[in-house]
Chains A and B, each alone.
Chain A
Amino acid sequence: MATMTMIQALNNAMDTMLAKDPDVLIFGEDVGYFGGVFRATDGLQKKHGITRCFDAPIAESGIVAAAIGMAAYGLRPVIEIQFADYIYPGYDQIVSEAARLRYRSAGDFTAPLTLRSPYGGGIFGGQTHSQSPEALFTHVAGLKTVIPSNPYDAKGLLISAIEDDDPVIFFEPKRLYSGRFDGWHEKPVETWSAHPASDVPEGYYNVPLGKAAIAREGQAVTVLAYGTMVHVALAAAEFAKIDAEVIDLRTLVPLDIETIVASVNKTGRCVVVHEATRTSGFGAELSALVQEHCFWKLEAPIERVAGWDTPYPHAFEWEYFPGPKRVAAALTRTLEA
């Protein structure tokens, strides 16, 4: 065991997989010699060689397409899109090609690639370095979408993503890279070392895709969250002094519906939270699923707390970011309903 930040855990996952499987290789903008703008691939080129971890042209469609070709050949490419906000030039290759290759060829060709991308807000990144576009990928048949919330899960989930035989979109909440963040932005930065999930095994292990975790057990209300919002939800429960059950979804597709349904059937109440814009966000899908599966157990309307339906604003970071106060207010409303 070692104490790792999320970025170190991700680096360690790739290090582990490069050592384990010669068919794993990594490329993306600035990921090679420099080790990535967030240092996720720091040292990997030096340790594993230049053909295992190398720089790519600033051409997201080319990066995704090259990974599809490599995956079709039989490799397991891991690509980095420098910010989730830059993913759109590669969107056609992700949606029309990677996602459908297995289906359209009836398994003749497959695209077992992992696309990693720093994601989410809380860093004063403005509209081009803060977005949470997960719903654009969860909407696409054939993709898996994974969003970790802590170092242990980040490593285990990334290893599972690399070993998965389908294309995986792996969004990394960049605000969590070097420390835990629960949305109380005025507080001093909290290091990961104080958190039990920073105990990360050095070697190989995995956290299975499609399995949620219960971040906090509770009886009063279920909170469905992922990424940074797991920590915000925990802070909100503490702030509102509500015995909330916080579920860390970890994987959005395939979704762990059993854990969600069991929890909501127990609490009778549900609040869905995400950073992404509200309209047509993944929260809409979660709300619909909860009412489909748990309608007769619900004692209050399902609440959604999300980013406002605006582009991500620079100067209004904390009015935009759905912090603990907004989540706490939703929890309180749900209990009062």
Chain B
Amino acid sequence: MKNPLMKNATSLSLRIPTPKARPGDPADLSHVNPPPAGETPRPDVSASAHDMRDMAFKLVRVLNDAGEAVGPWNPALDAQTLRRGLRVMLLTRAFDDRMYRMQRQGKTSFYMKSTGEEAIPTAAALALEKDDMCFTSYRQQAILFARDYPLVTMMNQIYSNAADPNRGRQMPVHYSAKQYGFFSISGNLATQVPQAVGWAMASAYKKDNRIACTFVGDGATAEGDFHQAMTFASVYHAPVIINVVNNQWAISSFQGIAGGDETTFAARAIGYGVPPLRVDGNDFLAVYGAIAWAAERARTNMGPTLIEHYTYRVEGHSTSDDPTRYRPAEEPRRWPLGDPVERLKQHLIVIGEWSDARHKALEKEVAEEVKTAAKEAEAIGTLGQSRPSVKEMFEDVYKEQPWHLRRQRQELGT
């Protein structure tokens, strides 16, 4: 029997979200309407998650179009810290550019740039304590630069050479640096988020004062692990900062495929009773202010914060990707929130602490630093020219090598 109410109903249609523009179309970023810098209020760190709900739909911004730092989120950093941030971002960019070229020259198999997103990990690292543990995805290499991890060691990892700290077992850019507060990068998406929560719970259990800080892409927020992490973080008030880096693209899928067209990623926090912040990710000062806010909250037993960093992935997902196949080629240049390096540079100039000449000199300096490190790493060897001993393939599977691995190593003849 038919339901009479259904009689005149239209047939169903399946909706598949699509971005506004594809290759060949003019870039259309009309949906990006950032509020003026300084407009978004800054709640007290003790604000309840309930009272913070509106923050999921605002955008924390400090640097205005004139390069001035305005509003309540201005962390009022001294010029030295600002120049430090600029240097780390420039170093990251120089490193990315060189390693990208090295991949194109066949010196390694793979690389991932962070162009356009450098402010997020850089400001986070500077706002955190050095021994806070970062559980990152593969695009927060700037944290390592900010913590003075040796460039040459990163390159050795990228080249899987004899000095690779991972002993040739991981693809390029999957760093691990416990002494630098940097958790081993997995490559499986979002797995690090609930692990960060567990680490933070352990820190609280031990009455430590270190906190955890984790980063996940907009696309990977769709993973179950992200949601389980939010539940655990909320339930146990874990001292953790969960950062969603919304760079608009998950390889070729625009953020609408992860649910970003229906609400903001920051709004995911509301259902878990976690305070949300939504931040201009290309604004070094805004990111710093937001991370500092969340860190103070975590360190004073007020629990987790979810921060959405609104940014743009300027380059391809990796060296294996060609973004002109799925988005307008001009879209990166049209991003309304600008370039994080240029914006911080402008600010430093506006406050009289920087100049074009000093900037050029710094660019040259970091390029030289990268070049020197590259020479040292390449002297050890690039991919295939040098590698750890093959017998190490069988080590570290377990703390003690069991008989079957010993036997297999002998079978290989190493």
Q: Which residues of A contact B (CB under 8 A)?
A: 25, 51, 56-57, 59, 61-62, 65-70, 72-75, 77, 89, 92-93, 96-97, 101-110, 141-142, 144, 165-166, 210, 253-255, 257
Shortest B241–chain A CB gap in Å is 14
- Beyond contacts A65-B197, A74-B202, A103-B397: 16 other A-B pairs, Cβ-Cβ < 8 A, are A57-B235, A59-B228, A61-B224, A62-B228, A65-B193, A65-B198, A65-B229, A66-B195, A72-B195, A72-B198, A72-B199, A104-B184, A105-B176, A105-B184, A255-B404, A257-B403
Report the Cα distance A214→B224, complex, angstroms: 44
Complex contacts, B194 vs chain A, CB 8 Å: 61-62, 65-66, 69, 93
Given A104-B170, A144-B398, A257-B403, is A62 in contact with B225 using a C-beta cutoff of 8 Å?
yes
Complex contacts, A92 vs chain B, CB 8 Å: 188, 191, 225
B27 contacts the other chain (CB 8 A): no
Complex contacts, B196 vs chain A, CB 8 Å: 69
Report the Cα distance A109→B167, complex, angstroms: 14
B169 contacts the other chain (CB 8 A): yes
Complex contacts, B102 vs chain A, CB 8 Å: none
Interface residues on B, range: 35 or more
Q: Kindly report which residue of chain A lies nearest to residue B407, judged by CB atoms.
A: A257
Given A68-B195, A142-B398, is A106 in contact with B188 using a C-beta cutoff of 8 Å?
no
Enumerate the 4 nearest inter-chain pairs by beta-carbon distance, A residue then B residue, closest first: A69-B198, A62-B228, A66-B198, A65-B194
Report the Cα distance A51→B202, complex, angstroms: 10
Report the Cα distance A102→B167, complex, angstroms: 11
Shortest B197–chain A CB gap in Å is 6
Contact partner, B165, options A57, A69, A73, A106, Cβ 8 Å: A106
Given A92-B188, A96-B191, A254-B404, is A102 in contact with B198 using a C-beta cutoff of 8 Å?
no
- In the complex the two chains form, is B402's CB within 8 Å of A62's CB? no
Complex contacts, A110 vs chain B, CB 8 Å: 399
Q: In this complex, which of A51, A67, A104, A210 has the most chain B Cβ atoms within 10 angstroms of its Cβ? A: A104
- In the complex the two chains form, is A70's CB within 8 Å of B184's CB? no
B51 contacts the other chain (CB 8 A): no
Complex contacts, B167 vs chain A, CB 8 Å: 106
Bitwise interface map of B from 220 to 244 toward A, beta carbon under 8 Å scored 1, else 0: 0000110011011001000000000
Complex contacts, A70 vs chain B, CB 8 Å: 198-199, 201-202, 205
- In the complex the two chains form, is B397's CB within 8 Å of A254's CB? no
Contact partner, A101, options B133, B184, B224, Cβ 8 Å: B184
Shortest A51–chain B CB gap in Å is 6
Shortest A17–chain B CB gap in Å is 16
Q: Which residues of B contact A (CB under 8 A)?
A: 133, 135, 165-167, 169-170, 174, 176-178, 183-184, 186, 188, 191, 193-203, 205-206, 212, 224-225, 228-229, 231-232, 235, 396-399, 402-404
Tell me the total A-B contact number using a CB cutoff of 8 A.
Answer: 137
Shortest A107–chain B CB gap in Å is 5
Complex contacts, A104 vs chain B, CB 8 Å: 166, 169-170, 174, 176, 184, 186
Complex contacts, A74 vs chain B, CB 8 Å: 202, 206
- In the complex the two chains form, is A65's CB within 8 Å of B397's CB? no
- In the complex the two chains form, is A109's CB within 8 Å of B184's CB? yes
Shortest A191–chain B CB gap in Å is 37
Q: In this complex, which of A68, A96, A144 has the most chain B Cβ atoms within 10 angstroms of its Cβ? A: A68
Report the Cα distance A56→B233, complex, angstroms: 11
- In the complex the two chains form, is B205's CB within 8 Å of A51's CB? yes
Given A66-B194, A66-B198, is A141 in contact with B399 using a C-beta cutoff of 8 Å?
no
Complex contacts, B133 vs chain A, CB 8 Å: 73
- 20 A–B contact pairs at CB < 8 A? A59-B228, A61-B225, A62-B228, A65-B195, A65-B225, A69-B197, A69-B212, A70-B198, A73-B199, A75-B206, A92-B225, A93-B191, A102-B396, A102-B398, A103-B169, A105-B184, A106-B176, A109-B184, A141-B397, A257-B403
- In the complex the two chains form, is B228's CB within 8 Å of A61's CB? yes
Report the Cα distance A141→B398, complex, angstroms: 8
Report the Cα distance A57→B402, complex, angstroms: 35
Contact partner, A142, options B177, B202, B212, B397, Cβ 8 Å: B397
Q: In this complex, which of B169, B199, B403 has the most chain A Cβ atoms within 10 angstroms of its Cβ? A: B199
Complex contacts, A97 vs chain B, CB 8 Å: 186, 188, 191, 195
Contact partner, A96, options B174, B176, B183, B186, Cβ 8 Å: B186
Complex contacts, B212 vs chain A, CB 8 Å: 69
Q: In this complex, which of A66, A77, A104 has the most chain B Cβ atoms within 10 angstroms of its Cβ? A: A66
Contact partner, A254, options B165, B174, B205, B402, Cβ 8 Å: B402
Shortest A252–chain B CB gap in Å is 12
Report the Cα distance A65→B201, complex, angstroms: 12
Shortest A325–chain B CB gap in Å is 34
Complex contacts, A102 vs chain B, CB 8 Å: 396-399
Contact partner, A65, options B176, B178, B228, Cβ 8 Å: B228
- In the complex the two chains form, is A75's CB within 8 Å of B205's CB? yes
Report the Cα distance A233→B293, complex, angstroms: 63
Shortest A282–chain B CB gap in Å is 14
Contact partner, A69, options B202, B206, B224, B399, Cβ 8 Å: B202
Complex contacts, B399 vs chain A, CB 8 Å: 102, 110, 165-166
Complex contacts, B397 vs chain A, CB 8 Å: 102-103, 141-142
Report the Cα distance A105→B184, complex, angstroms: 6
Q: Kindly report which residue of chain A lies nearest to residue B212, judged by CB atoms.
A: A69
Report the Cα distance A254→B408, complex, angstroms: 14
Complex contacts, A142 vs chain B, CB 8 Å: 397-398
Given A59-B232, A62-B229, is A69 in contact with B184 using a C-beta cutoff of 8 Å?
no
Contact partner, A108, options B135, B177, B199, B402, Cβ 8 Å: B177
Complex contacts, B178 vs chain A, CB 8 Å: 105, 108-109
Complex contacts, B169 vs chain A, CB 8 Å: 103-104, 106
Q: Kindly report which residue of chain B lies nearest to residue A96, judged by CB atoms.
A: B188
Report the Cα distance A97→B170, complex, angstroms: 13
Q: In this complex, which of A25, A51, A73 has the most chain B Cβ atoms within 10 angstroms of its Cβ? A: A73
Complex contacts, A108 vs chain B, CB 8 Å: 165, 176-178, 184
Complex contacts, A105 vs chain B, CB 8 Å: 166, 176, 178, 184
Report the Cα distance A166→B396, complex, angstroms: 10
Shortest A187–chain B CB gap in Å is 39
Contact partner, B396, options A51, A56, A106, Cβ 8 Å: A106
Report the Cα distance A107→B395, complex, angstroms: 10
Report the Cα distance A165→B399, complex, angstroms: 7
Complex contacts, B177 vs chain A, CB 8 Å: 108
Shortest B239–chain A CB gap in Å is 12
Shortest B40–chain A CB gap in Å is 32
Complex contacts, B228 vs chain A, CB 8 Å: 57, 59, 61-62, 65
Report the Cα distance A231→B231, complex, angstroms: 42
Report the Cα distance A67→B202, complex, angstroms: 9
Complex contacts, A257 vs chain B, CB 8 Å: 403-404
Q: In this complex, which of B166, B198, B225 has the most chain A Cβ atoms within 10 angstroms of its Cβ? A: B198
